[in-house]
Amino acid sequence: MSKPYVKLDKSKAAWRRMEAAGAQLMTWFGVACELHRDWRNDIEGLGALFASHIPDYRNLINSYTTVQNSK
């Protein structure tokens, strides 16, 4: 007879323990936005951070820049 087992993903288990303890779970994107607070402080810097880590954001910014430069 085989023994049933549960594969435990340790990173998810840690997240669940923190959540159960009352921590508000956030992604790095949310943390970056919270730390930045105001886009007027450093638009290019935060935009470059997002563009280097989020391909869809980079594509959006490239499209916007292209349209603005063609006017």
Cβ–Cβ under 8 Å, residues 39 and 46: yes
Helix, strand, coil percentages in the chain from 3-state DSSP, rounded to 5: 65, 0, 35
**Predicted structure pTM score:** 0.53
Q: How far apart, in Å, are the Cα atoms of 54 and each of 27, 58, 62, 64? A: 13, 6, 12, 16
* Residues 25-52 pLDDT 10s: 888 888 888 888 776 777 788 888 888 9
- Is there a contact between 46 and 36 (Cβ–Cβ < 8 Å)? yes
Q: What is the largest CA-CA distance in the chain?
A: 73
Residue 13 has pLDDT above 90, yes or no: no
